[in-house]
Amino acid sequence: MSAVLAEAVVPKAAAAAPQQVALVLLGTGVVGGAFLKLLCTPVAKRLHLVGAANSRKQQTEATQLAARDLRERLRREGAPRDDAALLSALDEHHAALKVIVDATASAELASRHADWLARGYHVVTANKSLAGGQLPGWRALQTARAAGGRYGDSATVGAGLPVLSTLRRLCDCGDSLLTLEGVFSGSLSYLFNTYDGSRPFSELLRDARKLGYTEPDPRADLSGEDVARKLLILARNAGFALGSDEVLVESLVPESLRELSTEAFLARLEELDEPLAALHEAARARGQVLRFLARLNQRGRARVGITEVSPTHPAARLYGTDNQFALTTTRYHTQPLVIQGPGAGPEVTAQALLGDILALG
């Protein structure tokens, strides 16, 4: 009865109409490509793509942007990269909301996020390099956000799993994060959930790359750097002013492979096989399994690295690209609040970007 009454007194027209959105897409790789597909679905009908770019070329011409094979075309043709022309395309569009979508891993582009926010654009990003990078960058971002800039960052942790939103909601309610623990990498989860010694580690890594789980340079995953960024993003959102040098990171990349170009590294993946097989065998002999874990303790000490855990450990019971985030807070203190699910892949990540854009208004 009360629901019927409520409907009668609140006229439908009172709800604000969703706003038109003009957007520029930076990065047309695995995530950017999946995002372009979502732009063709009915839920995206109020989103207008006015510019798209890869690392070398860009396009602002309407018929080119509407082409189904935009990614392939950008590889062959387009104007040279120039952010100013992309921002002009946003300025010239009538839409009320102007959004820059960063689907790259470029630290240089990420360093411009705060400036774009200060200039009135909204930023939606899968790129973790600013929020999970040096502390001054994080602080500049907070200043821009405090001045009203809206920053969609759901894709940066758990590829859109509701981790950041949950953590921020708890903090808004006066709860405090005490400890954080789990598996924050989709590719490393896939690798260690699958690796049993029967196929070389390098083969599984090639699969993970083909499936779109790894970073553009998979050493960003194997080195623990990508996991450390996610840990920093979560910790900072919970009020820990951690510097990037304050996370103890244990790399899986042998010294001999660290300084190579990405191409040269990809040609020598087999060199990972022996050390990983030895770690796996040692764990197996002790009845344990390997997992790449991230941990933040109550004193703000942070560590990411490979760990032997028992087969009954929660992290040992993951599948595919599952991530797992166990949050112990002042109010979730007898048992942690656990968020778990696929934490990498083009579709889920692109959806996280889309969700953040639609949430702007």
Which positions lie near ligand LTNE7NMQ, rule CB under 6 A? 159, 185-187, 213-215, 221, 226, 343-344
154 binds, among ligand LTNE7NMQ, ligand NDP, none (CB under 5 to 8 A by kind): none
Structure token pair of residue 97 = 């909301």
221 binds, among ligand NDP, ligand LTNE7NMQ, none (CB under 5 to 8 A by kind): ligand LTNE7NMQ
Alpha helices (H) in 122-163, listed in sequence order: 135-146
* Residue appearing with tokens 């492979």: 257
Respond yes or no: is residue 230 known to be catalytic. yes
32 binds, among ligand NDP, ligand LTNE7NMQ, none (CB under 5 to 8 A by kind): ligand NDP
**Out of 51, 133, 342, 345, the residue judged to bind ligand NDP by CB under 6 A:** 345
Q: Least distance (Å) from ligand LTNE7NMQ to the CB of residue 344?
A: 4
Structure token pair of residue 185 = 């990498």
DSSP structure string for 284-345: HHTT-EEEEEEEE-TTS-EEEEEEEE-TTSGGGG--TTEEEEEEEESSS-SS-EEEEEE---
> At 162, is the secondary structure helix, strand, or coil?
coil
Decide: is 126 part of the binding site for ligand NDP (CB under 6 A). Answer: yes
Q: Least distance (Å) from ligand NDP to the CB of residue 226?
A: 6
351 binds, among ligand LTNE7NMQ, ligand NDP, none (CB under 5 to 8 A by kind): none
Nearer residue to ligand LTNE7NMQ within complex by CB, 121 or 190: 190
**Out of 46, 166, 171, 216, the residue judged to bind ligand NDP by CB under 6 A:** 216
Q: Residue 22: in which H helix or E strand, if any? A: strand 21-26
Nearer residue to ligand LTNE7NMQ within complex by CB, 175 or 322: 322
CB-count burial class (<10 Å; 0-12, 13-18, 19+) for 318: buried
DSSP structure string for 80-120: EP-HHHHHHHHHHS--SEEEEEE-S--HHHHTTHHHHHHTT
Q: Least distance (Å) from ligand LTNE7NMQ to the CB of residue 229?
A: 9
How far is CA 165 from each of CA 137, 153, 184, 213, 266, rounded to the nearest angstrom? 21, 9, 16, 22, 36
* CA proximity to 289, closest of 268, 312, 305: 312
Decide: is 204 part of the binding site for ligand NDP (CB under 6 A). Answer: no
Query: Pattern of binders to ligand NDP over 43-62, x per CB under 6 A?
Result: ----------xxxx------
Decide: is 103 part of the binding site for ligand NDP (CB under 6 A). Answer: yes
Query: Pattern of binders to ligand NDP over 166-195, x per CB under 6 A?
Result: --------------------x---------
Known catalytic residues are 230
